[in-house]
Amino acid sequence: MADTDPFVNLKDWSSKKLLRDYQHASKTFRDGNYRLAPKQKFLFYVVFNFSPSAAQMVSDDIKRESSMMVKSMDLPSYTFDTQLMNQYNRWRAVQTKINYNAVQLRFHDDMSNISKRLWYFYLHWYYEDQKNGEVVRYTDIADTYSTQKDFNFGMANPKTESFFSSIQLYSIYGQKKFSEYTLINPIITQFTHDTHDHSQSEVLENSMQIQYETVKYATG
């Protein structure tokens, strides 16, 4: 009677007859001018492109040095809305929409306040809350039952032109090459300052969550 155990014919589990080749990694990752070598996370660079009007407002050191303060940035990611349809009692998965997921970008909170001032320029571009002078102008004016024409708050003067025209992330790798991801018409959906803590010795950072309309890919 035949043995029904599927493992009965497996002999000598400790045998050293293994499928291996010491040249496998070398042939895979070095041949063809390292064409299959994996990219490394720390080799990247971010470029902030401002709209023409915003570029006139932003100071030169922000334009020049904000890219240097980037600590980390997520690569773009996507999700798709799908719907199951009944096709003559056969289920079909149909795509209905692409969703561009927000990315997280982290800055070093530097002593020149480059990343913080970048955020302030963005805030100043869209919102009026920072433009009313000293603190007393926010606290000592009783305007609950009166009209204050001298002060504006919130998005009182909406902009037709975006602050950022695009944000470009370059993944850099060997032989002076790069992969480019361009986030089109990005806006900040969340900005977070770090936390002070006497028990910690880590450096401070500022982080922002960025939503975008689409992504353009390129290599060079």
Each of the 220 residues of the chain gets a pLDDT tens digit; together they read: 555 665 555 555 555 666 666 677 777 777 767 777 888 899 999 999 999 999 999 999 999 999 999 999 999 999 999 999 999 999 999 999 999 999 999 999 999 999 999 999 999 888 877 766 666 666 666 666 666 656 666 666 677 788 999 999 999 987 788 999 999 999 999 999 999 999 999 999 999 999 999 999 999 8
3-state secondary structure (DSSP) of residue 64: helix
Four-point Cα dihedral 197, 198, 204, 205, nearest 10: -10
Q: What is the DSSP letter of 24?
A: H
Q: What is the DSSP letter of 43?
A: -
Would you tell me how many other CB atoms lie within 10 Å of the CB of residue 127?
Answer: 16
- Report which of 185, 173, 181, 180 is spatially closest to residue 210, judged by C-alpha positions: 185
3-state secondary structure (DSSP) of residue 63: helix
Evaluate the CA torsion angle 34, 35, 41, 43 in order and state its sign. Answer: positive
Task: For residue 121, count CB atoms less than 10 angstroms from its CB and return exposed for 0-12, middle for 13-18, buried for 19 or more.
Answer: middle
